[in-house]
C-alpha cells in the first residue's frame, strides 16, 4: 500500500470531464468512477458491500449477493498471486510499454476474497522467470503519462 | 434450468446463402447482406413475397433488418430484430419467431464487417472510418478477445498442457478448408509452421486466433411441416441453447470448471435425444483455439485437461485432421480459423449443408446429426443439435 504520493495528481481531475479524459482507455463509467479517483491518490479501491461484506470488481452500484445498495469503496491490501497471465507481442502504443519480448499482463487474485481479481502489469524490474501463474505479488505504484498506475511487484513479505 | 423443449424438431432450416469471406475487403455491408439473402431465399425455393420475418445482427457495421427489408423489396414483415452477434442468437431468435407464430418464413442475415476497431487494413479505408471509436484501450486489459489468451495460460498451468492440442485444432481447420470455396484462407498448416509462428498474445500465436473478414451468411427458417414442401431435404433444430453464468466478467470468472459452456451443455443434454455418441459431425467454435479445447472437454468427449491426449488419439495423421473415433470429422469447412471471424455462422451453415447433402466436394456420407457449439466462455456460449428430417 505504497502511498508515497509526493507528486499526487489528484488535482488534475477536479471535474468528471477531466477524470474521463485521464482514464478513457480503461472503460471508465459512472459506476466505476470512484475507483479511478482513488488511483489518483495512489489508492487501489474496490467495491465492498456495507451490509454483507462481499467485495466485487468491477464496481457496480448494487451488491449481487444481497441486493444491498450500500456499496463502499475500500482500499485493498494489494497482496495476492498471479492467476492469469499473457505476454503481449503487439498492441496499442503506451508510455513505458515495450512489446519486444512480450509485455506481461497479469490478473492477480487478491487475498481479500476468492476470485476477486485485478488486472495490470508488473514492475519493470520484476524477474522475468518469476512472471508466472502462482507467483506471490504485492501492489506497487508507478506512473504512466504522469498518472499513478497500480502494478505488481514480487511479494517481499507474507 | 428447464427440461421443457416444445420446439424440438418443429423448426427447419430450409435455405442457405453465403458470399464467402475475404480478408481483402468486400462490397458494402448492405450489398453483402442482400447477396447472401437473395441466395438463401432462392435456395429455399421461395421469393421475397414469402418472407415475413427478418433477423439481422447488431454486429458493428452490419445493416439493420429494416434496411434489408427495403433492399430486398419485402412487402411487409411481422418479425424484425437484430440480436447480439454470434450465430445462434440470431438463428434461435428466428426459430422462436417461427415456432411462436410471429412469422412463417424468417430470413436470418448475418454479415461480418472489418472495421477500424478490429482491422489495421480497415483503418486506411475511408468508408470504414466511422467504425473507429477514437479511444484506444490500455494494454493491460484482460477482457473481450484478450481474455482467451489469459485463460489459455491458466489452462496450460492447471493441466500441465503443451501447445500440441492447440496446434491440432488449427491444423485441422486449415486441412478441411482446402475443400471449402468460401474460406478466406485455404493454405495447409504444418506443425513446424505452427510452432514457428509469431506470438500475438502469448501463449496464443497468429494461428490460434481468427482474422477479421468481410462476408455474410444467410439462412431461411420455417416450420418443419412447411419445410417438406420446399426444395431441399429439411434440417431440423432438435435442441438449442445459449447460456451464461452470472459472474461472467472475463478476468473475474470463477474458473475453467464452470462457465457458460457448461450451462449450454447441461441445457442441451436436458433437451436432446441425440448426444455425442450419436452425432456424425462436430462444429466447435475455434475463433480462439483454447475455446475448442474447452468445448471438447465440456461436451464430454474427454475429461477436463484431457483434450491433449484425446486429440492425439483421434488424429488422422495421413489426412492431418481430427476424426473422432475415426468417424466424426470436426469443422469440415475449416472453421473460423479459415473462413475468418464469422461469429460461428459458418459452423451452422456447413452443418446444414452436410446434413442435407449439399456439401459439394467434402460431403460426409450418411450424416444424420451434428453438434454445433459457437461462442466462447463469457457472454456468448451457445450450442445446437441439428438433425436431418
Verify whether the Cβ–Cβ distance B254 to A84 is below 8 Å: no
| Chain A contact present for B317, CB below 8 A | no
For B138-149, how does the pLDDT look when each residue is reduced to its tens digit (9 = 90+)? 999 999 899 999
Evaluate if residue A2 carries a pLDDT over 70.
no
Evaluate if residue A12 carries a pLDDT over 70.
no
For B263-296, how does the pLDDT look when each residue is reduced to its tens digit (9 = 90+)? 999 999 999 999 999 999 999 999 999 999 999 9
Angstrom distances, CA of residue B15 to CA of B69, B174, B353: 17, 26, 10
Q: Is residue A39 a contact partner of residue A150, using CB atoms and an 8 Å limit?
A: yes
Q: Which residues in chain B have Cβ-Cβ distances shorter than 8 Å to A97? A: 139
Task: Identify whether B203 is preceded by a cis peptide bond (ω within 30 of 0).
Answer: yes
Tell me which residue has cell 505479488. A137
Evaluate if residue B377 carries a pLDDT over 50.
yes
Output B192 or A6, whichever has higher pLDDT.
B192
Evaluate if residue B133 carries a pLDDT over 80.
no
**Mean pLDDT, residues B241-258 taken together:** 97
Evaluate if residue B309 carries a pLDDT over 90.
yes
Verify whether the Cβ–Cβ distance B246 to A94 is below 8 Å: no
Q: Which residues in chain A have Cβ-Cβ distances shorter than 8 Å to B139? A: 88, 91-92, 94, 97, 103, 105, 121
Hey, which residues does B214 pair with through a beta bridge? B22
**Superfamily of the domain at B11-112:** Thiolase/Chalcone synthase (3.40.47.10)
For A49-92, how does the pLDDT look when each residue is reduced to its tens digit (9 = 90+)? 999 999 999 999 999 999 999 999 999 999 999 999 999 999 98
Which of A10-14, A134-138, B103-107, B109-113 comes out lowest in average pLDDT?
A10-14
Using alpha carbons only, give the angle B86, B92, B98 rounded to the nearest 5 degrees.
Answer: 145
Distance CA B209, CA B170 (A): 9
Q: How distant is the Cα of B29 from the closest Cα of chain A, in angstroms?
A: 27
Residue among A155, A151, A133, A22 at smallest CA distance from A85? A133
CA A45: distance to chain centroid?
A: 8
pLDDT of residue B121: 79
At residue B47 the predicted structure's pLDDT band, cuts being 50, 70 and 90, is very high
What CATH class has A77-158?
mainly beta
Q: Which residues in chain A have Cβ-Cβ distances shorter than 8 Å to B201? A: 86-89
Evaluate if residue A7 carries a pLDDT over 50.
no
Distance CA B184, CA B190 (A): 18
The pLDDT mean for chain B works out to 96
Percentage of chain A exceeding pLDDT 70: 91
Percentage of chain B exceeding pLDDT 70: 99
The set of long-range contacts for B294-299, using a CB threshold of 8 Å and a minimum separation of 24, is: B294/B155, B294/B256, B294/B261, B294/B377, B295/B261, B295/B373, B298/B261, B298/B262, B298/B265, B299/B265, B299/B371, B299/B373
For B52-67, how does the pLDDT look when each residue is reduced to its tens digit (9 = 90+)? 999 999 988 899 999 9
Start-end of CATH 2.40.50 domains in chain A: 77-158
Which residue from B135, B140, B246 is facing A105, i.e. has the nearest CB? Answer: B140
Q: Which residues in chain A have Cβ-Cβ distances shorter than 8 Å to B198? A: 89
| Chain A contact present for B229, CB below 8 A | no
φ, ψ at B160 (rounded to 5°): 60, 30
Which residue from B138, B149, B199 is facing A94, i.e. has the nearest CB? Answer: B138
Angstrom distances, CA of residue B104 to CA of B78, B82, B86: 9, 18, 23
Q: Is residue A89 a contact partner of residue A68, using CB atoms and an 8 Å limit?
A: no
Q: Is residue A136 a contact partner of residue A155, using CB atoms and an 8 Å limit?
A: yes
pLDDT of residue B321: 98
**Mean pLDDT, residues B22-48 taken together:** 95
Evaluate if residue B134 carries a pLDDT over 50.
yes
Exposed/middle/buried for residue B188 (C-beta within 10 Å: 0-12, 13-18, 19+): exposed
What's the whole-model pTM score? 0.95
DSSP label of B35: H
Verify whether the Cβ–Cβ distance B140 to A85 is below 8 Å: no
C-alpha cell at B212: 477479421
pLDDT of residue A102: 97
Verify whether the Cβ–Cβ distance A102 to B251 is below 8 Å: no
pLDDT of residue B318: 98
Hey, which residues does A44 pair with through a beta bridge? none
Q: Which of residues 140-179 of B touch A (CB under 8 A)?
A: 140-143, 146, 149-154, 157
Evaluate if residue A10 carries a pLDDT over 80.
no
Interface A-B, measured as beta-carbon pairs within 8 A, has a size of 88
pLDDT of residue B120: 77
For B2-33, how does the pLDDT look when each residue is reduced to its tens digit (9 = 90+)? 999 999 999 999 999 999 999 988 899 999 99
Q: Pick the residue of B140, B166, B199 with the most A CBs within 10 A to test the interface with A by mutation.
A: B140
Q: Which residues in chain B have Cβ-Cβ distances shorter than 8 Å to A21? A: none
Q: Is residue B43 a contact partner of residue B221, using CB atoms and an 8 Å limit?
A: no
Exposed/middle/buried for residue A15 (C-beta within 10 Å: 0-12, 13-18, 19+): exposed
pLDDT of residue A5: 43
Q: How distant is the Cα of B337 from the closest Cα of chain A, in angstroms?
A: 20
Measured distance between the N- and C-terminal CA atoms of chain A, rounded to whole angstroms: 14
Amino acid at each position: 500500500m505504497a502511498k508515497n504520493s509526493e507528486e499526487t495528481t489528484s488535482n488534475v481531475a477536479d471535474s468528471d470531464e477531466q477524470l474521463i479524459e485521464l482514464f478513457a482507455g480503461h472503460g471508465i463509467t459512472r459506476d466505476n468512477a470512484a475507483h479511478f479517483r482513488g488511483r489518483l491518490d495512489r489508492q487501489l479501491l474496490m467495491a465492498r458491500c456495507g451490509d454483507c461484506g462481499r467485495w466485487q470488481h468491477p464496481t457496480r452500484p448494487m451488491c449481487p449477493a444481497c441486493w444491498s445498495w450500500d456499496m463502499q469503496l475500500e482500499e485493498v491490501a494489494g497482496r495476492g498471486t498471479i492467476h492469469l497471465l499473457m505476454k503481449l507481442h503487439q498492441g496499442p502504443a503506451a508510455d513505458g510499454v515495450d512489446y519486444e519480448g512480450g509485455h506481461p499482463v497479469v490478473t492477480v487474485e487478491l487475498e481479500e476474497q476468492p476470485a476477486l481479481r485485478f488486472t495490470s502489469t508488473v514492475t519493470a524490474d520484476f524477474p522475468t522467470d518469476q512472471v508466472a501463474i502462482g507467483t506471490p505479488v504485492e501492489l506497487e505504484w508507478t506512473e504512466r503519462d504522469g498518472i499513478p498506475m497500480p502494478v505488481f511487484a514480487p511479494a517481499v513479505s507474507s | 434450468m428447464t427440461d421443457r423443449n416444445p420446439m424440438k424438431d418443429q423448426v427447419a432450416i430450409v435455405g442457405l446463402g453465403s458470399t464467402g469471406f475475404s480478408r481483402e475487403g468486400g462490397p458494402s455491408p448492405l450489398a453483402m447482406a442482400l447477396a447472401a439473402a437473395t441466395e438463401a431465399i432462392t435456395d429455399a425455393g421461395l421469393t421475397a413475397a414469402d418472407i415475413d420475418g427478418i433477423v439481422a445482427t447488431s454486429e458493428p457495421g452490419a445493416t439493420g433488418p429494416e434496411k434489408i427489408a427495403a433492399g430486398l423489396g419485402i412487402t411487409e414483415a411481422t418479425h424484425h430484430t437484430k440480436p447480439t452477434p454470434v450465430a445462434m442468437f440470431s438463428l434461435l431468435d428466428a426459430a422462436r419467431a417461427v415456432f411462436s407464430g410471429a412469422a412463417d418464413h424468417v430470413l436470418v442475415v448475418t454479415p461480418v464487417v472489418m472495421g477500424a476497431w478490429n482491422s489495421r487494413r480497415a483503418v486506411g479505408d475511408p468508408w470504414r472510418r466511422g467504425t473507429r471509436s477514437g479511444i484506444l484501450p490500455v494494454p493491460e486489459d484482460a477482457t473481450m478477445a484478450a481474455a482467451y489468451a489469459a485463460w489459455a495460460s491458466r489452462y496450460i498451468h492447471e493441466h500441465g498442457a503443451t501447445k500440441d492440442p492447440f496446434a491440432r485444432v488449427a491444423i485441422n481447420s486449415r486441412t478441411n478448408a482446402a475443400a471449402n470455396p468460401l474460406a478466406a484462407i485455404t493454405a495447409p498448416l504444418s506443425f513446424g509452421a505452427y510452432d514457428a509462428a509469431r506470438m500475438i498474445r502469448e501463449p496464443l500465436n497468429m494461428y490460434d486466433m481468427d482474422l477479421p473478414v468481410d462476408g455474410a451468411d444467410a439462412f431461411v427458417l420455417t416450420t418443419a411441416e412447411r419445410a417438406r414442401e420446399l426444395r431441399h431435404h429439411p434440417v431440423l433444430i432438435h435442441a438449442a441453447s445459449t447460456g451464461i453464468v452470472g459472474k461472467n466478467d472475463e478476468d473475474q470468472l470463477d474458473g475453467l470448471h464452470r462457465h457458460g459452456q457448461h450451462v449450454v451443455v447441461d441445457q442441451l443434454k436436458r433437451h436432446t435425444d441425440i448426444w455425442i455418441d450419436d452425432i456424425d459431425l462436430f462444429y466447435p467454435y475455434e475463433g480462439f483455439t483454447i475455446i475448442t479445447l474447452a468445448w471438447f472437454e465440456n461436451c464430454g468427449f474427454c475429461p477436463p485437461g484431457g483434450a491433449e491426449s484425446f486429440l492425439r488419439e483421434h488424429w488422422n495423421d495421413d489426412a492431418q485432421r481430427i476424426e473422432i473415433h475415426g468417424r466424426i470429422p470436426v469443422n469440415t469447412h475449416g472453421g473460423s480459423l479459415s473462413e475468418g471471424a464469422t461469429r460461428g455462422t459458418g459452423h451452422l451453415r456447413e452443418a446444414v449443408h452436410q446434413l442435407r447433402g449439399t456439401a459439394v466436394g467434402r460431403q460426409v456420407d450418411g450424416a444424420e446429426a451434428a453438434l454445433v457449439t459457437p461462442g466462447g466462455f463469457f457472454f456468448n456460449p451457445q450450442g445446437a443439435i441439428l438433425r436431418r428430417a
